[in-house]
Structure 1
Amino acid sequence: MAAPVVATSGVLCRALRAGFCRPHGARLLRQAARCLSPGTPAPRAPTGPPAPLPEGLRLLRGFLTPQEEQALLLEVEGALKRVRYEGGHWDQAIHGFREIEKSQWTEQNAKILQRVRDVAFPPGVPQLSLVHVLDLKADGYIKPHIDSVKFCGSTIAGLSLLSSSVMRLVSEQNKDDWADLLLERRSLYILGGRARYEFTHEILKDEDSVYNGERVPRERRISVICRNLPDKGTPYALGTPPENIDPASRL
């Protein structure tokens, strides 16, 4: 049985009343849903060797067929073309981007997103109804951050369209504990567990986009992201969020 997908208007109202996010009209939702908590930036070129990938991080290469990628692109491009690129997000975590949220999809693409939900989220976990679509320019990038535990749940699942990229994860507790992950075009990444709560994640700039010594050219990249609602109990299987998480992200 598919997990419930719930509306987010209650989250919006609570966020607005409590002042957790800055209201910018239609952009309030994505700020409430994400409210990025920037972490301490990792070194541009780490000197130590990378560590094993943290627990809770999964990558499914080739999750989409080329035909499925094109179907998703065809649908999101129509909405994206009405939105202007921005130099910087209000919290300075994203540069060179535009974004939308979508709740209504064609039958074909709805089936693709249901596959994402079935793979990424445990059965019965309530999920955010709106899917976040983030369009990053070729020279855009995402700085180190941990998604807010106030408005985002235990799992973040993202499809990579148009371009491969390098995601860097750095431990909040030990900056020498870092790892890079090659997000291949048409892959699905899933952040949960320690990777979700204890590591910042970022998308490297084109000039820094190197994986295992090999250059990974960054083109325009679109990510299609699903999230679940915050769990009022334990945020992830290992227990409550560790104390090293930025307290602001738990407001």
Structure 2
Amino acid sequence: RWAQGIIAQRSIPLSIEGRAYLGTGQKLRCSNPLPWRSLIQAIHGFRETEIAQWSEESREILQRVRDMAFPPGVSQLSLVHVLDLDKTGYIKPHIDSVKFCGCTIAGLSLLSSSVMRLVSEQNPEDWMDLFLPRRSLYILRGTARYEFTHEILKDKESFFDGQKIPRERRISVICRNLPVLPAPT
């Protein structure tokens, strides 16, 4: 039962990482789209948006992420969630709502390394820290997706294996699949 379904630290080669989120050329704007409203209280020091239009190079990178994260034929959310977390920002423990997100969450970590903590909802003594280096991909599915909270630690708490992992501004590009709705009765 221990956090099955975690895939982490796959390095994704990116040639334009410094151009705010994969070279879309857009400025990140604050928005609170309805599906993410429940997350607003869990995230501090951030801006976010959802993007449908990407550069050709970015589309290729996102397709590689999707190919690694989702089995063929799985319906995915068309909009990609982009979260810009300030150096002082952090994400409190949460489980993404099953109303708005399916069984898999795939996040590409850009600009800064960070530490993600997963904690069992049933037994908080069961926890794991994941080192997410800059340009890494993490994928949460199965037990890790549904039964463990995930959070990005504050800079002052950002340690992995006894080593300080300095946090800077972090952009995450998050792909999700559609929730599976129950069949009508």
* TM-score, scaled relative to structure 2: 0.88
1:54 CA drift (Å): 1.6
Compare 224-233 and 191-200 and name the one that shifted more.
Answer: 224-233
Secondary structure, counterpart of 2:172 in structure 1: strand
Name the structure 1 match of 2:66. Answer: 117
Q: What code does the residue aligned with 1:79 have?
A: K
Summarize the Cα distance change of 1:182–1:77 in structure 2 as closer, same or farther, 3 Å threshold.
farther
| 1:71 and 1:109 in contact (8 A); partners too | no
For 2:65 and 2:154, the matched residues in 1 are separated by 27
Name the structure 2 match of 1:135. Answer: 84
Of the three residues 45, 65, 69, the one matched with 2:17 is 69
Q: What code does the residue aligned with 1:175 have?
A: P
| 1:53 and 1:179 in contact (8 A); partners too | no
User: Gapped runs of 5+ residues in structure 1?
Assistant: 1-51, 234-251
For 1:64 and 1:223, the matched residues in 2 are separated by 15
| 1:128 and 1:227 in contact (8 A); partners too | yes
1:75 CA drift (Å): 2.5
Q: Does 2:179 align with 1:230?
A: yes
Name the structure 1 match of 2:27. Answer: 79
The one-character-per-residue Cα deviations of 1:21-63 (angstroms, maximum 9, x if unpaired) are xxxxxxxxxxxxxxxxxxxxxxxxxxxxxxx972100014322
Percent identity between the two aligned chains: 66
1:83 CA drift (Å): 4.0
Name the structure 1 match of 2:3. Answer: 54
Secondary structure, counterpart of 1:79 in structure 2: coil
Which structure 2 residues correspond to residues 137-152 of structure 1 after superposition, within 5 A? 137-152=86-101
Name the structure 2 match of 1:248. Answer: none
| 1:95 and 1:141 in contact (8 A); partners too | yes
Q: Does 2:129 align with 1:180?
A: yes
Name the structure 2 match of 1:218. Answer: 167
For 1:96 and 1:77, the matched residues in 2 are separated by 22
Summarize the Cα distance change of 1:166–1:77 in structure 2 as closer, same or farther, 3 Å threshold.
farther
The CA RMSD measured in Å over matched residues stands at 2.1
For 1:151 and 1:141, the matched residues in 2 are separated by 22
User: Runs in 1 of length 4+ with deviation above 2 angstroms?
Assistant: 68-79
Q: What code does the residue aligned with 1:171 have?
A: S
* TM-score, scaled relative to structure 1: 0.66
Greater RCO, CA 8 A, separation 6+: 2
User: Gapped runs of 5+ residues in structure 2?
Assistant: 32-36
1:212 CA drift (Å): 0.5
1:231 CA drift (Å): 1.6
Secondary structure, counterpart of 2:17 in structure 1: helix
For 2:25 and 2:164, the matched residues in 1 are separated by 28
For 1:192 and 1:127, the matched residues in 2 are separated by 14
Bigger radius of gyration among the two: 1
Name the structure 2 match of 1:37. Answer: none
